[in-house]
């Protein structure tokens, strides 16, 4: 038992030393480039603040009217499920109601996502609670969306669980669920009409609406977060938060000098 405890303690010590060594290397790179000093706490705080800015900006952009349906920053419009998209042209041929069924459903689905996005920022921000020394070092040295990928990797399950009931309520509120059911009913009725070609869709295999909309809504939000992260890395001095300017400005200066 004593040997086992010693082995565990040794493993923790080694892991801590490796993490510290990684951060020291990053700090050395930054300080060489800027002549200034950054602590591990400052780097972690700067990365957390950047993620919070990205999350809040994404939530604000997506929750605007047409934030999903016609977003000016990125194409995050939620389309019909792929199974239905393949036969959308045929669905629109359903007499009288075809176009309306498709258009109303797509619009309602995107309106639901916009309503849900209003609640997204606090969920994102609350999820940014822990970041190890190693995480911070890897993110700072990573590519242009390393922080976004970290957020996606560490928070997606929690975000999905929290976001699902919100988007379900939003979809019900804008009647997207009713339009989805009407769409499926329309396909079934059309397929029963004699002497016409069936719309080749298995209604039973279509995804649950809240599952599909939740996945697409969160995907759109992460897209907007990644765009904001790229902006922060490209021009940190455009932001009012001094910790963002200090951390990402130091990284930018170091990269510039290292590339000379």
- The pLDDT score that the predictor gives to residue 27 is 45
- The pLDDT score that the predictor gives to residue 28 is 45
Percent of the chain with pLDDT over 70: 76
- The pLDDT score that the predictor gives to residue 98 is 66
Would you call 130 exposed, middle or buried from its count of C-beta atoms within 10 A (0-12, 13-18, 19+)? Answer: exposed
Task: State the chain's mean pLDDT as an integer.
Answer: 78
- Within a 13 Å sphere around the CA of 47, how many CA atoms are in the beta-carbon half? 30
Q: Give how far Cα 53 sits from Cα of 130, 134, 228, 260, Å.
A: 16, 22, 8, 31
- The pLDDT score that the predictor gives to residue 260 is 43
**Cβ 99 vs Cβ 88: under 8 Å:** no
- The pLDDT score that the predictor gives to residue 41 is 86
How many Å apart are CA 12 and CA 9, to the nearest integer? Answer: 5
Angle at the Cα of 52 from the Cα atoms of 46 and 210, rounded to 5 degrees: 150
Write out the two tokens for 199. Answer: 């719309």
- The pLDDT score that the predictor gives to residue 5 is 43
Higher-pLDDT residue of 184, 240: 240
How many Å apart are CA 70 and CA 59, to the nearest integer? Answer: 15
- The pLDDT score that the predictor gives to residue 253 is 58
Express each pLDDT in 19-46 by its tens digit: 344 444 444 444 434 434 788 888 889 9
- The pLDDT score that the predictor gives to residue 30 is 43
- The pLDDT score that the predictor gives to residue 96 is 60
Kindly list the domain boundaries of the chain, sorted by start residue.
2-258
- The pLDDT score that the predictor gives to residue 12 is 38
Would you call 192 exposed, middle or buried from its count of C-beta atoms within 10 A (0-12, 13-18, 19+)? Answer: exposed
How many Å apart are CA 152 and CA 225, to the nearest integer? Answer: 10
**Cβ 23 vs Cβ 131: under 8 Å:** no
Q: What is the mean pLDDT of residues 5-13?
A: 40
Write out the two tokens for 136. Answer: 């911070």
């Amino acid at each position: 038992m004593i040997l086992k405890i010693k082995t565990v303690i040794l493993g923790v010590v080694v892991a801590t030393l490796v993490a510290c060594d990684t951060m020291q290397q990053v700090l050395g790179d930054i300080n060489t480039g800027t002549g200034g000093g950054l602590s591990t706490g400052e780097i972690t705080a700067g990365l957390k603040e950047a993620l919070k800015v990205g999350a809040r900006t994404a939530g604000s952009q997506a929750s605007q009217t047409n934030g999903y349906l016609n977003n000016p920053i990125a194409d995050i419009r939620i389309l019909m499920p792929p199974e239905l998209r393949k036969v959308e042209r045929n669905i629109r041929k359903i007499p009288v109601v075809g176009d309306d069924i498709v258009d109303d459903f797509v619009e309602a689905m995107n309106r639901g996502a916009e309503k849900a996005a209003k609640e997204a920022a606090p969920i994102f921000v609350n999820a940014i609670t822990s970041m190890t020394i190693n995480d911070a070092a890897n993110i700072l040295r990573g590519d242009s969306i390393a922080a976004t990928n970290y957020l996606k990797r560490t928070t997606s399950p929690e975000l999905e669980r929290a976001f699902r009931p919100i988007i379900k309520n939003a979809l019900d509120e804008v009647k997207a669920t009713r339009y989805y059911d009407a769409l499926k009913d329309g396909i079934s009725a059309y397929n029963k009409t004699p002497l016409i070609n069936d719309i080749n869709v298995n209604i039973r295999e279509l995804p649950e609406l809240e599952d599909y909309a939740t996945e697409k809504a969160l995907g759109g939000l992460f897209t907007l977060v990644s765009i904001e992260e790229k902006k922060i890395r490209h021009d940190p001095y455009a932001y009012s938060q001094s910790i963002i300017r200090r951390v990402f400005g130091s990284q930018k200066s170091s990269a510039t000098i290292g590339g000379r």
